[in-house]
């Protein structure tokens, strides 16, 4: 399985258009690399790339009809409900299951009833290589469900909005490869020379750039 990080910043990208914090100013001056909003793509055959975006649920929640009209112009595609019981198998031999990890509904909805399925994480398993990826760009913290989700994983791409949240998800002794994504615009992790970035590296946490690829 090949994983491509399409974006690694929080909503609004980096620098954020309406933010004047030190990291955003540095990015505008060309001192730090810019980043787009978090997203990833996975492929099991280096041909069919499947986007993994934790915010997508079903057509009823995302307005997929509009998305379909746009995507249809470029390539054939097929919709899968991420919460299908038992998951589903994608081309290239990837098995994907979605797991609820939070109940925070999008702010743009007129009625935001509590629903534990609003925030999901993906577990992607490669039937050929045995590689397992957990993609969880939004986390409220560590709990038994997250521990179960991470069991046996080779790599976890975790919420780095607040450093302590993602750090708490895994103990330093774990052998799981840890990558932070969805970095908030004021995050010190953007700067390779910052103390926070150095501490993350020492703890075995990677902060990769947009476009980074790795194989599991």
Name, in order, each residue with C-beta under 8 angstroms of 62's C-beta and a sequence gap of 6 or more: 55, 56
Q: In 10 A of CB 143, how many CB atoms?
A: 12
Query: For the domain 2-215, what is the CATH code?
Result: 3.60.15.10
Q: What is the pLDDT of residues 175-202, one digit of tens each?
A: 889 999 999 888 889 999 998 888 888 8
What is the pLDDT at residue 12? 86
Output the CA–CA distances (angstroms, integers) from residue 47 to 16, 123, 167, 196, in the order listed: 33, 20, 34, 37
Q: What is the pLDDT of residues 85-141, one digit of tens each?
A: 888 888 889 999 988 887 676 666 666 666 556 788 899 999 999 999 999 998 876
């Amino acid at each position: 399985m090949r994983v491509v990080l399409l974006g690694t910043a929080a909503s609004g990208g980096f620098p954020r258009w309406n933010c004047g914090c030190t990291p955003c100013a540095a990015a505008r001056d060309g001192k730090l690399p810019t980043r787009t909003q978090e997203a990833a793509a996975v492929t099991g055959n280096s041909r069919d790339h499947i986007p993994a975006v934790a915010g997508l649920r079903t057509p009823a929640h995302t307005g997929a009809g509009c998305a379909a009209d746009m995507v249809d112009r470029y390539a054939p595609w097929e919709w899968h409900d991420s919460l299908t019981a038992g998951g589903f198998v994608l081309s290239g031999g990837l098995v994907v299951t979605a797991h609820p990890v939070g109940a925070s509904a999008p702010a743009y909805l007129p009625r935001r009833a509590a629903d534990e399925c609003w925030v999901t994480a993906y577990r992607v398993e490669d039937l050929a290589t045995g590689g397992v990826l957990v993609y969880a760009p939004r986390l409220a913290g560590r709990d038994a469900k997250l521990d179960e989700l991470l069991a046996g994983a080779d790599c976890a791409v975790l919420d780095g909005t607040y450093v302590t949240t993602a750090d708490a998800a895994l103990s330093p002794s774990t052998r799981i490869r840890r990558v932070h994504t969805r970095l908030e615009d004021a995050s010190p992790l953007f700067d390779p020379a910052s103390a926070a970035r150095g501490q993350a590296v020492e703890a075995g946490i990677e902060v990769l750039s947009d476009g980074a690829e790795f194989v599991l």
